[in-house]
Amino acid sequence: MSTEVMEACKKEQENQKLQVTQNTEAEHTRAGKVFVPRADIYETQEQLLILADMPGVKEEGVDITLEQNILTIYGKVEQPQIEGYTLAYSEYGVGDFRRVFALSNEIDRDGIQATIKNGVLKLVLPKSKRAMPKKIAVSVE
Amino acid sequence: MKSNWNLHFLNDKLRRGKVAVVALLVGLSLGFAGSQVVHSMNESSKEATKVPVHSDKDVAHERRFDFAFPPYMWGGGLLRDSIFRDFDDLGYFPASFENDWKIGSFVSTPRIDTSESAAELRITADVPGIDEKDLEVSVSDNLVTIKGEKKRDSSVSEKDSKKSERFYGTFARSLNLPCRVDSEKAEASLKNGVLTIVIPKSQLAQKECKKLTIRTQ
């Protein structure tokens, strides 16, 4: 196989959903798989932006909690109940999404906004006034 | 005489220009009207967005997939694509064939699940963050192709990126179908980032689904 193919295979593996296997915190109260959503993080001077791929999650299914400085996003996926069909082939598997982010104290907690569109969760985390860069004017004595 | 000719030439140019402008205006207004219709149709079905399905009947060349992939092998993205890629390295496939599969680069294919009932085939694909206008689904007698483009969120710029795990760009994926289908009645819908394609089996294919009882001797 050429290096190009190897690269592509590697990417394909990366592209697979990462399933939560280690249960470091607590047991889940719902049966079923839980996946880690892929996320992009952007940072500007004013805010942090998290975009997470959570296909199949409705707005009612999103649960965002902020405890101390731990931000947890949870997306509940409804299992499609289709009568009369047999599964022929499965690649992605249906399951919930869960991911934990550690926030610094620089985030303005009250200003956090979350929206979901087409299965992508968009979290806007504004930085607190304290953390914003401040220019100090120098005056001549 | 020469100036007269020049004037004539100019007139002709102007006329052509006018025709072009009129054509452009008509085209634009039709386009807008079309999008309005589509928009209002979308709003009426709030639950899931319909994605138009292109049905290509009598596409003979698609059947070439069959020799490598018998109909019982639904999907099988990685396997299939890597086989093709290896053949490609050997220069095995003719150029016309390349066009069929190369668009389905397996780096960026959406993950799919397939299921089947007595009368229908169902394909679901994870396509988070893609609008229905950026998705294209086409169905022929025995092949489904999902094409699309995932665009970057317009509110962010690439230079602010700190961590990038999600995929952006174009993708395409073709699937062999296990039986003949009624491609014109195929439907696709998009809901919460999951694309669902339902394709009814053809009358003939439904008849073929007859189970034999095996007698023991």
What is the interface pTM, i.e. ipTM, of the complex? 0.73
> Closest approach of chain A CAs to the CA of B161, in angstroms?
4
- With bands split at pLDDT 50, 70 and 90, how would you rate the model's confidence at B180? confident
For A39-99, where are the alpha helices, taking DSSP H only?
none
Task: Select the residue from A2, A89, A92 to test the B interface by mutation, using most B Cβ atoms within 10 A.
Answer: A89
Tokens of B217: 């001797």
Structure tokens at B150: 């995932």
Tell me what the mean pLDDT of segment B163-182 comes to. 81
Which residue intervals of chain A are DSSP H helices?
Answer: 3-15
pLDDT at residue A91 tops 80: no
What's the whole-number mean pLDDT along residues A69-90? 82
Task: Specify whether the CB–CB gap between B108 and B170 falls below 8 A.
Answer: yes
In this model, does residue B31 exceed pLDDT 90? Answer: no
User: CA of B193, closest CA in chain A: separation in Å?
Assistant: 4
- pLDDT-derived band at A62 (thresholds 50, 70, 90) equals very high
Between A21 and B120, residue with greater pLDDT:
B120
A106 secondary structure, DSSP code: T
Domain boundaries, chain A: 3-80+87-130
Tokens representing B119 are 């009368």
C-beta atoms of B74 and A51 within 8 A: no
Considering only the beta carbons, identify the residue of A1, A40, A80 that sits closest to B86: A1
As given in the structure block, the two tokens for residue A52 are 């997470």
DSSP-derived 3-state class of residue B134: helix
pLDDT at position B187 = 92
pLDDT at B108: 42
B107: contact with A, CB 8 A cutoff: yes
- CA separation (Å) from B25 to A69, A86, B21, B29, B170? 56, 51, 6, 6, 31
Identify how many contiguous H helices and E strands chain A contains and give both numbers. 1, 10
Element (H, E) at B97: helix B95-102
Enter the tokens of residue B198: 């339902």
Residues of A in contact with B122 (CB under 8 A): 82, 85
Place of tokens 């930085």: A127
Task: Tell me the nearest-neighbour CA distance from A118 into chain B, angstroms.
Answer: 4
Mean pLDDT, to the nearest integer, of A43-60?
A: 90
pLDDT, tens digit (0-9, with 9 covering 90-100), for B66-122: 333 333 334 333 334 444 444 433 333 333 333 333 333 333 467 788 888 888 888
Mean pLDDT of chain B: 66
- Best B165, B177, B179, B197 member to test A by mutation, with max A CBs in 10 Å, is B165
- A 10 A CB-CB count for A101 gives 17
Residues B145 and B59: their CA atoms lie apart, in Å, by 13
What is the distance between the alpha carbons of residues A141 and B147, in angstroms, rounded to a whole number? 67
pLDDT band at B44 (very low <50, low <70, confident <90, very high): very low
**Residues counted in chain B:** 217
pLDDT tier, B196 (very low <50, low <70, confident <90, very high otherwise): very high
Tell me if A9 and B78 make a contact (CB, 8 A cut-off): yes
Q: Write down the pLDDT at residue B197.
A: 92
Reply yes or no on whether the pLDDT at A72 is more than 50.
yes
Q: Cβ contact (<8 Å) for A92 and B112?
A: yes
Query: How many A/B residue pairs have CB atoms within 8 Å?
Result: 135
pLDDT digits (tens, 9 = 90+) for A106-121: 788 888 999 999 999 9
Q: Does A41 sit within 8 Å of B161, measured CB to CB?
A: yes
pLDDT of residue A25: 55
Name the residue type at position B1.
M
The pLDDT score that the predictor gives to residue B56 is: 60
For A3-80+87-130, which CATH class?
mainly beta
How far apart CA A127 and CA A49 sit, in angstroms, is 10
Token pair 């950026």: residue: B134
Per-residue pLDDT for B65 more than 50? no
Query: What does the pLDDT read at residue A23?
Result: 46
Angle between the N-to-C axes of helices B95-102 and B77-89, in degrees from 0 to 180, rounded to the nearest 10:
150
Quick one: pLDDT band at residue B163, thresholds 50, 70, 90? confident
CB B69 within 8 A of CB B142: no
Point out the least confidently predicted range of A60-69, B11-20, B66-75, B158-167: B66-75
